[in-house]
Structure 1
Amino acid sequence: MKTWNVVLGVDVSKKTVDICWSERKLFVHIDNNSEGFGKFKKWCKTNLIDLRETFIVLEYTGGYEYRFIQFCESQSIAYRRVPGLEIKQSMGMIRGKSDRADAFRIGQYGEDKIKRLEPSKLLDNKILELKTLLSFRKRLVRESAGYQSSVGERKHMYEVSNQDMIVRISNEKRDANSEYIKELESRIMELIKSNEQMYLNYRIITSIKGIGAVNGWMTIAYTENFTSFPDARHYAVYVGVIPFEHTSGTSKKGRRRTSNLAQKELKQELNQAAKTAMQHDPEIRAYAERKMQNKEYGLVLNNIKFKLILRMFSLVKRGEMYVENYRRSA
C-alpha cells in the first residue's frame, strides 16, 4: 500500500473550496473554478506539498465536488470521496460549524483512517450523466404526480370541469412533463447502449422477473455497472435490505432489523420489484407463500429484495440471462 506524505481535508461548496492540512494546521480558501485551483497549486508549492505524494479526502456533496475532482484527475492527484455521515460519526462530539472547521475535521478523519482508505476510481462520465438524468427524471415524475393529485382534489372539492383554469394548467404541465420524461428515458437508453458491457448487464438484470427498466437503470448507475461493490451483500447493505443484530448484554434483546442508513430511493424501487416478482415469478411466489405462514409480510418482502439483488449480481458475474427453472412439485 502506498504511503502518503500529506493528507488534505477538503470541504466543497457551490462556489468555494476550503482545504486544510490538519497535521500542520495549514489552510487555504479558494474559488471552485480554474482560477481557484491555480491558487491551490501555488499554495502547495509555497508550503512544499508535493501533489504526487498527497492524498485528498472530501465529502459527497451531490455534485458540487465534481469540478474539483476533474481538476484532481487532470493533475493525477489521489482522492477519496467519503459520505459526510461517516465522517461526522467518527469525530465524536462536535461543537460549532464553519467551512474551515469542516475542512479541518475532514483532514483529521483522513489522517486517522489513511491506512484503510483507497483512492477513488476515475470518474466515468457516462455513469455521471446517467445519475444526473435519473435524478431529473425522478423530479419530473414527482412533479407530475403532484399535478395529478391537485386536479383530483380540485374536482372533488369544487366539482369543476377540465376547463377550469387550475385544472387546465395542471393537466398541460403534467402532459408536458410526460413528453420530457420520454425524452429523458430515450437519452438514458442511448447512454446505456453506447457501452457494450453496460448494455449487456442491463439486458441481463432486466431479464429477471420483477426488475423493470427503472430498476435496471438505477442498478447500473449506482453500482457503476457492477464495479463499485465487491459482491451482492455489500450492495444489499448499501440499499438497506440486510438486517443487523440489536442486542446489548442481557437487558436488550431486540430482533434483527435493517438499518435506517440506506439508499432509500433504490430500496423503494426494489420494493415494487419484489411485489411484481411475487406475482409473476412462480419460484418467488412459492417462497413467499411458504414464509408468510409464520413471518410478517414486510420481512418476507425484504427477503425477496435480497434474493433479487443476489440474482442480479450472480447473473452479471456469469454473463447469463435469467432462465426460469421452477418446477411445481407433484
Structure 2
Amino acid sequence: MKNYEEVVGIDVSKKSLDAYCYQAQVHKEFTNDITGYKSLLKWVLKVTKASKVFYCFENTGYYSLKLALYLSSESIVYVEESPLKIKRSSGIVKEKTDLIDSKLIARYGWLYREELEPSVVKEQSHLELGRLLALRDQLVRNNAGLKGTLKEMKVLLTSPSTDVGCLSLKRSIDYQEKQVKAIEQRIQDIISADASMSKNYELLTSLKGIGLVVACQLIYHTGNFTRFSSWRSFSSYCGTAPFKHESGTSIHRRKQCHYLGDRKMKSLLSMASVSAIQHDSELRLYYNRKLAEGKDKMLAINNVRNKLIARAFAVVKRGTPYVVLQQHAA
C-alpha cells in the first residue's frame, strides 16, 4: 500500500458513512447503501488529485460488510481493520464524533500504509457459515434461558403440566431446538458442498473433543486454515498463548495469557479441552502431569487448549487424521 497517494477514512454506522480524505483534508457524509457508495466514489474522484487511492474502515459486522462487498465488486482496494488497532494507535482522544472517527481512521491508514495489506471479502459459503454459527449460538443461549425459567416455574407451581405458561415455554423450547437442528443441517450441507472444507472438517473431527461446532468455528475463524501461518498465531488470536511480563530487575512475573482475544473461540476450546481430557488418554495423562508439576487447573487446561490447537493445525497441514499413538505402543 506504500505507493498510494491518498487514503479515505470511513466511519461506518448503521445508516450513514462519514468519509475523510487525509491529504485533501475534506469530509462528507453519505448514506450506507448502494446510492451512498456510488456518491462516495464520485466525490473522492472530484476532491482528490491522487491517481492511487485506497479506502480504510473498521470492521463493524453487517454494517461494514455491505460496503466491503460493493468495493470488492468494483475492484476497488480497501482495508478493513480491527477497531481496537485503530483506537490504540490514536493516542489520547478526549472527544468523539463521527467526523473525528473518520479522521482518525484516515490517519491510521496513511501512517501504516506500508504495513497494511488489501482486504478480501470471504467467499459466500464462508459468510453464510459465519452467520449460521452466530445464529445457532444465539438460539442455544435463548433456549438455555427459557429452560431455566421453566425449571423455576415448575418448582413454584403445583400442576406445571397444565399451566399455560409452562406449556407455552415447552412449545417455545421445542420449536427452537428444531430450529437449531435445521441450522446444523444447513451448516453440514455447506461443509459438504466445499471439498476443501469437507476434508478439513473430517480431519478436525478425528480429534477427541472436537465436534461439529468447534470444527466449524475453527474453519470459519481461520479462513479454512489460510488466515494464520501457524498454530501459535491462532493461539495468540484466541487469547490462549502465554506472554512474558518483565521490566528491569524488579518485575519478573510468570507468563500469562493476554486478556485480548476471541472470547467465544477461547470458551469453545475450553469446553473441547474438558471433553478431550475425559476421552483422550494421552491428553488426560498430559493434564495430570501438569497438575503433578504444581500447576493450577486452569493453567493445565490452557496447556490442553494449546495442544488441541497444535493438533488441529497439524492434521490439516499433514492431510491425515489424528492417530492415538498409545494404542500402537508395544
Q: Same fold (TM over 0.5)?
A: yes
Q: 1:160 & 1:261 partners in 2: Cα distance?
A: 48
Secondary structure of the residue aligned to 2:323 is: coil
> TM-score, length-normalised on structure 1?
0.95
Distance 1:34 1:252 in 2: 54
**In 2, are the aligned partners of 1:9 and 1:110 still within 8 Å (CA)?**
yes
Distance 1:20 1:68 in 2: 16
Match of 1:16 in 2: 16
Note the C-alpha offset of 1:11.
Answer: 1.0
Q: Which residue is 2:248 aligned to?
A: 249
Structure 2 match to 1:4: 4
- 1:156 CA displacement: 1.9
Q: Counterpart of 1:63?
A: 62
1:175 aligned residue: 174
Q: Return the offset for 1:252.
A: 2.9
**Conservation of the 8 A alpha-carbon contact between 1:154 and 1:160:** no
Give the aligned residue type for 1:290: R
SS at match of 2:119: coil
Alignment of 1:74-113 (within 5 A): 74-113=73-112
Shift, 1:162, TM fit: 2.4
C-alpha distance in 1 between matches for 2:299 and 2:329? 25
Counterpart check, 1:234 vs 2:233: yes
**Matched residue type, 1:318:** R
Q: CA deviation at 1:49?
A: 5.0
The answer to which of 68-77 and 244-253 deviates more is 244-253
Counterpart of 1:75 in structure 2: which amino acid? E
In 2, are the aligned partners of 1:9 and 1:21 still within 8 Å (CA)? Answer: yes
* More divergent stretch after superposition (311-320 vs 252-261): 252-261
- 1:151 aligns with 150
Matched, 1:317 2:309: no
For 1:63 and 1:139, the matched residues in 2 are separated by 16
1:102-141 superposed matches below 5 A: 102-141=101-140
Of 202-211 and 247-256, more deviation after overlay is shown by 247-256
Q: Is 1:162 matched up with 2:161?
A: yes
Which residue type is aligned with residue 288 of structure 1?
Y
Instruction: Confirm whether residue 42 of structure 1 aligns to residue 42 of structure 2.
Output: yes
Percent identity over the alignment is 35
For the residue of structure 2 that corresponds to 1:177, the secondary structure is helix
Q: How does 1:286-297 map to 2 (within 5 A)?
A: 286-293=285-292, 294-297=294-297
Counterpart in the other structure of 2:272: 273
For residues 283 and 20 of structure 1, do their structure 2 counterparts lie closer, same or farther at Cα, with a shift above 3 Å needed?
A: same
Give SS of 2:259's match.
coil
Secondary structure of 2:240's aligned partner: coil
How far is 1:165 from its partner?
1.9
Q: What is the identity, as a one-letter code, of the residue corresponding to 2:218?
A: T
How far, CA to CA, are the matches of 1:158 and 1:252 in structure 2? 58
| 8 Å contact from structure 2 (residues 55, 78) kept in 1 | yes
In structure 1, runs of 5+ residues without a counterpart are none
- 3-state DSSP of counterpart to 1:115: coil
- In structure 2, what is the equivalent of residue 298 of structure 1? 298
Residue ranges of structure 2 left out of the alignment (5+ in a row):
none
* Structure 1 position 254, deviation (Å): 2.4
* Cα pair distance change 1:197/1:285, threshold 3 Å: same
> Structure 1 counterpart of 2:116, which letter?
L
Deviation of the 1:2 alpha carbon: 5.3
Counterpart position of 2:263: 264
Structure 2: distance between partners of 1:130 and 1:282:
32
Going from structure 1 to structure 2, the CA distance change for 1:159 and 1:299 (only over 3 Å counts) comes to farther
Contact 1:215 1:269 in 2 (8 A): yes
Q: Is the 8 A contact 2:72 2:120 kept in 1?
A: no
**Separation of aligned partners in 1, 2:259 and 2:155:** 37
TM-score, structure 2 as length reference: 0.95
Q: Deviations over 1:169-196 (max 9, x none)?
A: 1111110000000111111111111110
Moved more, 169-178 or 116-125: 116-125
Aligned residue for 2:26? Answer: 26
CA contact (8 A) 2:153 2:160 kept: no
CA contact (8 A) 1:246 1:256 kept: yes
Corresponding pairs, count = 329
Aligned Cα root-mean-square deviation (Å): 1.6
- Asked whether the 8 Å contact 2:2–2:114 carries over to 1, the reply is no
Runs of 4+ with deviation above 6 angstroms: none
> Aligned-pair distance for 1:89?
1.0
Stretch moving more, 224-233 or 153-162: 153-162
5 Å-filtered alignment, 1:197-208, equals 197-208=196-207
